[in-house]
A and B are shown apart, each in its own frame.
Chain A
Amino acid sequence: MVPQAWYLLLSALLFGLGIAGFVARRNTLVMFMSVELMLNAANVVFLAAARDHVPARGSACALFVIAVAAAEVAVGLALVLALFRLRKSVQADEVRELRA
């Protein structure tokens, strides 16, 4: 059986990739994908914990995260679409209207 530490390591790697992508990339779509990556890194931890400790609770949490992620994508993609219609571009650094 694969030791739990490996799962945690995998999760940390995925989460790190997600943060890096979220902070570094300018394309909003890629930023979204990075967010998904981080959510799924969390899922990995939940499921690993479910396997070793309390199966039902961990799986339920993972299901919640998937549901939230789906909802988030629905809103987020709508925003990206709206942004594209407005700007003909989805580059995050071109949108600075909120500057104080």
Chain B
Amino acid sequence: MNLVAGLLLILPLAMAALLGLFGKRLHGKTPGLLAFGMAATCFGLAVAAFLHLRGLPEEARFVEASFWRWLDLGSGDQRLALDVGVWLDPLSVTWALFVTGVGSLIFLYSISYMEHEEGAWRYFSYLCLFLFSMLILVLGENLVLTFLGWEGVGLCSYLLIGFDYGKEVAARAGRKAFVVNRIGDVGFLIGMFWTWKLYGTLGHGEMKPIMAAVTAVPPLLALGYFVGACGKSAQLPLFVWLPDAMAGPTPVSALIHAATMVTAGIYLVLRLSPLFVAAEWALDVVAWTGAATALFAGLIALRQRDIKRVLAYSTVSQLGYMFLACGLGAFGAAAFHVITHAFFKALLFLGAGAVIHALHGEQDLWKMGGLKHHLPKTARAMTAGAFALAGIFPFAGFFSKDEILGVAFAQGYAGDPSRYVLWGMGVLTAALTAFYTARMMTLCFGGTSRVDPHLHPHEAPAPMAIALQVLMVASIVGGAALGFEALHWMPLHHWIDPVLAAPPHPTHLPPALNWGLMALAMMIAVLAWRIGAKWYGGDFAPARQAELTAPRFAKLLQGRFFVDELYALLIVRPLRFVAELCLEFDRRVVDGLFRGAGSFSALLSTTVRLAQNGVVHAYAFWMVVGAVLLLTLALA
């Protein structure tokens, strides 16, 4: 197992180095094929790790493999000893499985997508480095290794968003992602320092018994980690980087900003779930942040014209659901939604990539339409993903989303009325989700064509199509295969729940109520979908007119609630002002001193220089004057 775990980390890193150092000499599809081969091998290794763990009895399902001692600082109570090693348990292996699984498909897709791009080797090198970072994030045997991966995915995200660094938008978006993530990282670091101070260890293996016994945790400690999670998983108020991250190539959006990296925040919360449960009101903060983000991003997604932006906001919104589940204590449900979301969101993004590819870079929904006749396969695959996103039975998203809503309602039913509010927000978001997904699909594939007549859209080449087909199947059956709570069919929960904290609140509803709620959610989703499809289907002119002459609230949505502008006003502008002040101070006072010293001596020397006129007689004269002066002084 040590070998498998080691290879899981070494292979992506080696491939990243190989492609980064020598990739420039490779041409065409070679770098992509190499990277894909590596990713597929990693998936195989992850499966091997999974099978190994499955074979163990439930309470012994973990493997700790240390490769070498990394740090050994201090002594006694103050000792911090860290190994470089791997911690395999159901949680980390689950993450490794879908990261490498969905990742391989996206690598495969990228082979065609990036074939004609300049610098594809660079792209694949970054992608491999990303895979390495993500794997060390989830598999690392202590929190510091997790943090290393955490930073690594942040770096790769920056590199890949800014892949097209010649474009100002891309470079700017890359910087934004980096800076916003850094704010979250501070929270993570504080959490880590505090954890070490309290418990004297950061290793996952050593923390397992400690966390099992812990009864009270400072809420701020847990919230420190949560701030980190908010940054990485794009929650309020740190979500602003994710929509901008769409400046990167579309497969990157699919891999990083939908399926894998953004789930790192959820992973962290799940990994430390006992701390969150023991930290009084911390979980409530998580729940309300999640629900608010879900609703907020869902509203914004209603009126975006850029197809990738719609998907980006839907990602933010779905991540909100996951945090809502974490906050409710339904950690298993959060993991479930992470996985189904990875399937269908990767599918939607890759489908959107195929559409954009077919339209030579057009991303504006208003300039699409009628594409189902040109791209039937893509349309079919994306429809499956869209149904899954909208939560329509029996597609994957339905099961996980419904489980989360069910838990919220169950807690309300058990006597906590505020949970009904959370449930309401969740249901409203579900309706919004169905509506904007229908809008996106209809604007893109339905109705009449508004495509530039010079373009001749064509189906994506084979590797892209294969990736789409596989993900389509996963989006259709992925939910039902992993769990259906109402029928007590919960393989994922049986697998992953033992390593997560037990829910602090009730999570089960009476069956009749459960089925009723499910039917209600289903009806709402279908209804919202129908409305959206009808509104934007058929003749485009009135819908367009309605969007253009929108009332004030809709303008707010189009402007994305002007959050970016608000941050610019509240944070960026004051910071800029301070920076300008410092610049002026530096220019005038600090530079002034140095320049003043310089120009003063220059002035002095120009004056004195005049004496050096080269006339021997003048020198003689002044010599005499000097001698006379000295003499007078000596005699006086």
A residues contacting B by CB (< 8 A) are: 19, 22-24, 26, 28, 31, 92-93, 95-100
The answer to whether B617 has its CB under 8 Å from any CB of chain A is yes
Q: In the complex, A95→B614 CA distance in Å?
A: 7
- What sequence of 0s and 1s flags, for each residue 598-636 of chain B, a beta carbon within 8 Å of any chain A beta carbon? 000000000001101111110011001000000000000
Residues of B within 8 A of A96 (CB): 613-615
Q: In the complex, A24 Cα to B620 Cα: how many Å? A: 9
CA distance A92 to B620 in the complex (A): 11
List 6 A–B pairs whose Cβ atoms lie within 8 Å, in order of A's numbering: A19-B624, A23-B621, A31-B620, A98-B614, A99-B612, A99-B613
Distance in Å: Cβ of A78 to nearest Cβ of chain B: 17
CB-CB contacts of B449-471 with A at 8 A, as 1s and 0s? Answer: 00000000000000000000000
A24 and B613 alpha carbons, distance in the complex (Å):
17
Contact of A100 among B609, B616, B617, B621 (CB under 8 A): B609
B139-174 interface with A by 8 A CB criterion: none
Q: Using A19-B624, A23-B621 as known contacts, say yes or no to A93 and B612 having CB atoms under 8 A apart.
A: no
A92 to B621, CA, bound (A): 13
CB <8 Å contact, B620 and A93: no
Tell me the bound Cα distance from A23 to B475 in angstroms. 106
Which residue of chain B lies nearest to A34 when distances are taken between CB atoms in the complex? B620
| Bound CA span A98–B611, Å | 11
Question: Which one of B610, B614, B624 lies within 8 Å of A23 (CB-CB)?
Answer: B624
Residues of B within 8 A of A23 (CB): 617, 620-621, 624
| Per-residue contact bits, chain B 571-614, to A (CB 8 Å; 1 contact, 0 not) | 00000000000000000000000000000000000000110111
Known contacts A19-B624, A23-B624; A93/B609 CB under 8 A: no
Specify which chain A residues have a CB less than 8 angstroms from the CB of B614 in the assembled complex: 95-100
Give the CA-CA distance A92 to B613 in the complex, in Å: 13
List residues of chain A with CB within 8 A of the CB of B624: 19, 22-23
Among A19, A95, A100, the residue within 8 A (CB) of B612 is A100
Question: Do A95 and B616 touch across chains, with their CB atoms under 8 A apart?
Answer: yes
Closest residue of chain B to A25 (Cβ to Cβ) is B617
* Complex Cα–Cα for A28 and B619 (A): 14
CB distance from A16 to the nearest CB of B (A): 11
Whether A92 contacts B612 in the complex (CB less than 8 A), given A19-B624, A23-B624, comes out as no
Residues of chain B contacted by A92 (CB below 8 angstroms): 616-617
Within 8 A of A (CB), among B260-291: none
The 3 closest A-B pairs by CB, nearest first: A99-B614, A100-B612, A96-B614
Judging by beta carbons under 8 Å apart, are A93 and B613 in contact? Answer: no
Interface members, chain B 85-137 (any A CB < 8 Å): none
> Residue on B with the closest CB to A92?
B616
Contact B613 A100 (CB under 8 A): yes
In the docked arrangement, what's the CA distance between A13 and B610, Å?
A: 33
When the two chains form their complex, are residues A98 and B620 in contact, meaning their CB atoms are under 8 A apart?
A: no
Given contacts A22-B624, A31-B620, A93-B616, 20 further A-B contacts (CB under 8 A): A19-B624, A22-B620, A23-B617, A23-B620, A23-B621, A28-B616, A92-B617, A93-B617, A96-B614, A96-B615, A97-B614, A98-B612, A98-B614, A99-B612, A99-B613, A99-B614, A99-B615, A100-B610, A100-B613, A100-B614
CB distance from A38 to the nearest CB of B (A): 10
Contacts of B609 in A (CB 8 A): 100
A26 and B613: CB pair below 8 A?
no
Least CB distance, B288 to chain A, in whole angstroms: 78
Task: List the B side residues contacting A98 at CB < 8 Å.
Answer: 612, 614
Question: Of B610, B612, B617, B621, which contacts A26 at CB under 8 A?
Answer: B617
Q: How far is the CA of A26 from the CA of B621 in the complex (A)?
A: 13
Min distance, Cβ A39 to any Cβ of chain B, angstroms: 14
Residues of A within 8 A of B613 (CB): 96, 99-100
Q: Which single residue of chain B is at the shortest CB-CB distance from A99?
A: B614
Write the nearest CB–CB distance from B619 to chain A, whole angstroms.
9
A34-B614 Cα distance, complex, nearest whole Å: 21
CB-CB nearest in chain A for B621: A23
How distant is the Cα of A77 from the Cα of B178 in the complex, in angstroms?
78
In the complex the two chains form, what is the Cα distance from A28 to B617 in whole Å? 10
**A93 / chain B contacts, CB cutoff of 8 Å:** 615-617
Smallest Cβ-Cβ distance to A96: which chain B residue: B614
Q: How far is the CA of A98 from the CA of B614 in the complex (A)?
A: 5
- What B residues does A28 contact at CB under 8 A? 616
Q: Which residues of chain B are near A97, meaning CB under 8 Å?
A: 614
Find chain A residues with CB under 8 A from B610 CB.
Answer: 100
Kindly provide the distance from the CB of B607 to the nearest chain A CB, expressed in whole angstroms: 11
Question: Chain B residues with Cβ under 8 A from A31's Cβ?
Answer: 620
> Can you name the residue of chain A whose Cβ is closest to the Cβ of B628?
A19
Chain A residue nearest to B605 (CB atoms) is: A100
CB distance from A92 to the nearest CB of B (A): 4
Q: Which residues of B contact A19 (CB under 8 A)?
A: 624
In the assembled complex, the CB of A15 is this many whole angstroms from the nearest CB of chain B, namely 11
CA distance A99 to B620 in the complex (A): 14
Question: A20 — nearest CB in chain B belongs to which residue?
Answer: B624
Instruction: Point out the residues of chain B lying under 8 angstroms from A26, CB to CB.
Output: 617
Bound CA span A9–B385, Å: 120
Closest residue of chain A to B625, judged by CB?
A: A23
How far is the CB of A100 from the nearest CB of chain B, in Å? 4
Question: How far, in angstroms, from A96 to B624 measured CA to CA in the complex?
Answer: 20
Complex Cα spacing A14 to B528, Å: 121
- Chain A residues within 8 Å of B620, by CB: 22-23, 31
Of listed B614, B615, B616, B621, residue having the most chain A CB within 10 A? B616
Closest A residue by C-beta to B606:
A100
**Complex Cα spacing A50 to B609, Å:** 45
**Inter-chain contacts of A24 with B (CB < 8 A):** 617
CB A22 to nearest CB in B, in angstroms, measures: 6
Closest to A35 in B: B620
Q: How far is the CA of A68 from the CA of B79 in the complex (A)?
A: 81
Closest CB of chain A to B621's CB: distance in Å? Answer: 5
Nearest neighbor of A97 in chain B, beta-carbon distance: B614
Minimal Cβ-Cβ distance residue in A for B611: A100
Within 8 Å CB of A22, what residues of B? 620, 624
B273 to chain A, nearest CB (A): 81
Given the complex of chains A and B, what is the CA–CA distance between A92 and B614 in angstroms? 10
What CA separation (Å) do A9 and B287 show in the bound complex? 112
Nearest CB of chain B from residue A12's CB, rounded to whole Å: 13
Q: Give the shortest distance, in Å, between A8 (CB) and chain B (any CB).
A: 15
A96 CA / B621 CA spacing, docked (Å): 16
| Bound form: Cα–Cα A100–B616 in Å | 13
* Across-interface contacts of B621 in A (CB, < 8 A): 23
B413 → chain A, closest Cβ, in Å? 97
Return the chain A residue nearest B619 by Cβ.
A98
